[in-house]
Amino acid sequence: MVTGFDSFWYWLAMFVLWAMLITGIIVFMVRRVGEPRTDREICDPHAILRIRYARGEISKEEFEAKKKDLEG
């Protein structure tokens, strides 16, 4: 009779547990990349404008016009 640490099911459960833990950490880290680091960056209209342009949400002409509006 196989019991304790010799059990196939024990090692399978440990493998699944560690795989889920490592996957969770990786998903958390990937989602954090690219997020603004401070509240100032979140509220800065120039930063928001640059992000929208980088994502392709607005064209270059719209970007330039909005940037000019913010500066003047």
Instruction: List, as one string, the DSSP characters of 3-68.
Output: -GGG-HHHHHHHHHHHHHHHHHHHHHHHHHTTS-SSHHHHH-HHHHHHHHHHHTSS-HHHHHHHHH
Q: What percent of the chain has pLDDT over 90?
A: 49
53 and 27 in one domain? no
Average pLDDT over residues 15-43: 82
What per-residue confidence (pLDDT) applies to 29?
87
29 and 48 in one domain? no
27 and 6 in one domain? yes
Q: What is the mean pLDDT of the chain?
A: 85
18 and 4 in one domain? yes
At 35-57, the pLDDT tens digits run 666 655 567 888 889 989 999 99
Residue 26 has pLDDT above 90, yes or no: yes
| pTM beyond 0.85, yes or no | no
